[in-house]
Amino acid sequence: QVQLVESGGGSVQAGGSLRLSCTAPGLSTCMGWFRQGPGKEREAIASIYTSDGATTYHDSVRGRFTISQDNAKNAVYLQMNDLKPEDTAMYYCAAVSGSSHAVTVWVGPYPCEYSVWGPGTQVTVSS
């Protein structure tokens, strides 16, 4: 079982920035970030296809959030700028592990089937 560990969450005011980090024993074919706000379902917000760096974003964060990878450190990052109160949520790193119980996110032509999540890191944005 892949072990993912997120860090970098915290409390900021609207308009502020945070950078989330996720470390893993190794990067899977896809790495992603999901979030779950109060009373909401978990949603995929950013994914990266680690072979070529192709990315995809949820409409609500496109242009404000950037996902990136560092192969040498087996890490994935989520730079979050211009944060809004509606970004308040628990943020989870996700990886592919080959399980049949997976959530599929398409990154261009690539299906990223996420089945492993980290414990999460809380992001709170105040107005």
pLDDT band per the 50, 70, 90 thresholds, residue 101: confident
Please tell me the predicted confidence (pLDDT) of residue 81.
Answer: 98
> At residue 75, does pLDDT exceed 80?
yes
> At residue 2, does pLDDT exceed 80?
no
Q: What is the pLDDT of residues 30-53, one digit of tens each?
A: 999 999 999 999 999 999 999 999
Mean pLDDT of the chain: 96
Query: What's the average model confidence in pLDDT over 109-121?
Result: 95
Please tell me the predicted confidence (pLDDT) of residue 100.
Answer: 75
| Buried/exposed code over 92-113 (b: 16+ C-beta within 10 A; e: otherwise) | bbbbbeeeeebeebebeeeebb
* CA 90 and chain centroid, separation: 10
* CA 70 and chain centroid, separation: 14
Q: What is the pLDDT of residues 23-32, one digit of tens each?
A: 999 999 999 9
Query: What's the average model confidence in pLDDT over 86-96?
Result: 97
| Buried/exposed code over 32-62 (b: 16+ C-beta within 10 A; e: otherwise) | bbbbeeeeeebebbbbbbbeeeebbbbeebe
